[in-house]
Structure 1
Amino acid sequence: MRVVAGNYGGRNLKTLDGKLTRPTGDKVRAAMFSMIGPFFEGGRVLDLYAGSGGLAIEAISRGMSSAVLVERDRKAQTIILDNIEMTKELNKFSLLKMDARRALKQLSGPFDLVFLDPPYAKETVGNDISSLDSLQVLSDRVIIVCETDESVVLPDSIGEFEIIRQKRYGISKVTIYERGDHD
C-alpha cells in the first residue's frame, strides 16, 4: 500500500497483517479522494477508526493542515506511528490511543473532513455522525466519508446530514454525507 497523490505520493505505507484493520486499498482511496477533492487548501481531518492511518495521511498529503487519528489497537498504533514518521511532518498528526467512544468525549473541533470506517459499520456510523454533530466538533461544510462493506445500507439522512454520493468498489462501499443546508 502506498500514498496515492500529493506531497507524500508514492511513499509506502505499512499495514497490519490479517483482517483486524482492513486497510483501504490504493484504488479505493484514490477513488474516494476523487469523489471529495481531490486536493485541499487546509482544514482539519478526523479519522475515528484509523487502522494504518492511510486515509488521514493521504488527506494531509493532498493539502489538509492537520489530522487527529483514533485507534485502540496497540499493534495498529505502532503501524500508524511508523507511517506518520514516514511523512517527516509529525507536527501535523495527533494519535489518540483509545477507542472511538472515549475519543469522542475528548475531541475539540472543528473538523472539515471525517473518515468513518468502523468494524461494525451498520450499528456505528449513524451514532458516530450524531455524536460528532451533537458535540459541535464539525465545521459547517464538513465532508463525512464512510467506508463500509458493500452489503451495509446506511440511511439517506442522519440528522441534518444527507448522502451526496455513494459508490461501490469491489466489496467496499463509499458513502459521503454533507449537511443538507450547505448551499
Structure 2
Amino acid sequence: MKQRRTSQPRPGAPGRLRIVAGEWRGRRLAVPSAPGLRPTPDRVRETLFNWLQGIVPGARCLDLFAGAGGLGFEAASRGAARVVMVEAAPRVAAHLREQVQLLGAADRVEVIAADALAYLARCDEGFDLVFLDPPFHSDLLSMALAGLARGRCLRPGARVYVEYAASGQPPALPEGWRIAREGRAGDSAHLLTAPIGMGSANERE
C-alpha cells in the first residue's frame, strides 16, 4: 500500500488519480478511502515515464505495492502488454479491480490480492519493468529488492523503479545493480535501476 506525500489530503480521505498520457490520458480514477494510501504525484509519474520512453510499449510490468494503482495504470495506458498489480489490502485490491473493469482493461491488467513478499517468493513470471513503492520508513523496500535479486521475476534487460523517503538514505541495491536515473520531488526520492548488469553512470534529474 502506498505511503506518500506531495499534497496532504486528510488521512483516509478519497481522491482522484489522473492518468498523465497514453490511451486514457486525462482520465481520472477514484482513489479509495484508506489510511496512508495516496497516488504517486503526476510530476513524478511523468518524469518516470519520460525515462522509460521506448521501453513501456509491449512491456510486461509488475506494480508490486500497487496501492492506488497510479504506476500500473499509467503503464497500461502507455502501451504495456501486461500489468500485474499486487496489493495486500483486500478492499483496496477490490477497488483496483473495479477500476480495471471501468477502463475495459481486463485483457491487460491483472490485480492480485496478496502480500508483496509472498508473491515474490513464488513468482515465476518474468517482467520487463517492476515498480517498487512500499510504505516509507519500513523495511519492505530492502526485502523486496532482495527478493527480486534472488527470484525469477526479472527478464534480461529489466528495469526496476524505486521510490523512497527523501529524508532517508537511498536503498542499498543488490550486487551488480546500477542506477540509471534518479531524482526527487517533495518529500519523496526516486530512482530507476538496471538490475541485470546494465546501466551507466548516474544521471540526475
Query: Percent of counterpart pairs with the same letter?
Result: 30
Task: State how 1:1-183 maps to structure 2 within 5 Å.
Answer: 1-17=17-33, 19-37=35-53, 40-120=56-136, 123-155=139-171, 157-179=173-195, 181-182=197-198
1:16 Cα offset (Å): 2.4
The one-letter amino acid paired with 2:95 is I
The answer on whether the counterparts of 1:140 and 1:182 sit within 8 Å (CA) in structure 2 is: no
> Judging changes above 3 Å, is the alpha-carbon distance between structure 1 residues 151 and 19 closer, same or farther for their aligned structure 2 residues?
farther
The one-letter amino acid paired with 1:115 is F
The answer on whether the counterparts of 2:148 and 2:154 sit within 8 Å (CA) in structure 1 is: yes
1:156 Cα offset (Å): 5.8
Q: What is the alpha-carbon distance in structure 2 between the residues aligned to residue 103 and residue 43 of structure 1?
A: 20
Cα shift readout 1:128-171 (whole Å, capped 9, x = no counterpart): 12211211220111111011121132246322212221101111
> Judging changes above 3 Å, is the alpha-carbon distance between structure 1 residues 38 and 167 closer, same or farther for their aligned structure 2 residues?
farther
The answer on whether the counterparts of 1:156 and 1:162 sit within 8 Å (CA) in structure 2 is: no
Q: What is the alpha-carbon distance in structure 1 between the residues aligned to residue 147 and residue 153 of structure 2?
A: 9
Q: What is the alpha-carbon distance in structure 2 between the residues aligned to residue 72 and residue 156 of structure 1?
A: 24
Q: What is the alpha-carbon distance in structure 2 between the residues aligned to residue 86 and residue 9 of structure 1?
A: 15
Size of the aligned set, in residue pairs, is 183
Write out the 4+ residue segments of structure 1 that deviate beyond 3 Å after TM superposition. Answer: none
> Judging changes above 3 Å, is the alpha-carbon distance between structure 1 residues 180 and 33 closer, same or farther for their aligned structure 2 residues?
same
Cα shift readout 1:80-130 (whole Å, capped 9, x = no counterpart): 112212221212111111111221133222100000001145622232122
Q: Which structure 1 segments of 5+ residues have no match?
A: none
The one-letter amino acid paired with 1:174 is H
Supply the RMSD in Å over aligned alpha carbons.
2.0
* 1:51 alignment partner, SS class: coil
User: More helix per residue: 1 or 2?
Assistant: 1
Q: Which structure 2 segments of 5+ residues have no match?
A: 1-16, 200-205
The answer on whether the counterparts of 1:161 and 1:178 sit within 8 Å (CA) in structure 2 is: yes
Q: What is the alpha-carbon distance in structure 2 between the residues aligned to residue 88 and residue 104 of structure 1?
A: 27
User: What TM-score, normalized to structure 2?
Assistant: 0.81
User: What TM-score, normalized to structure 1?
Assistant: 0.90
The one-letter amino acid paired with 1:134 is R
Q: What is the alpha-carbon distance in structure 2 between the residues aligned to residue 116 and residue 177 of structure 1?
A: 11
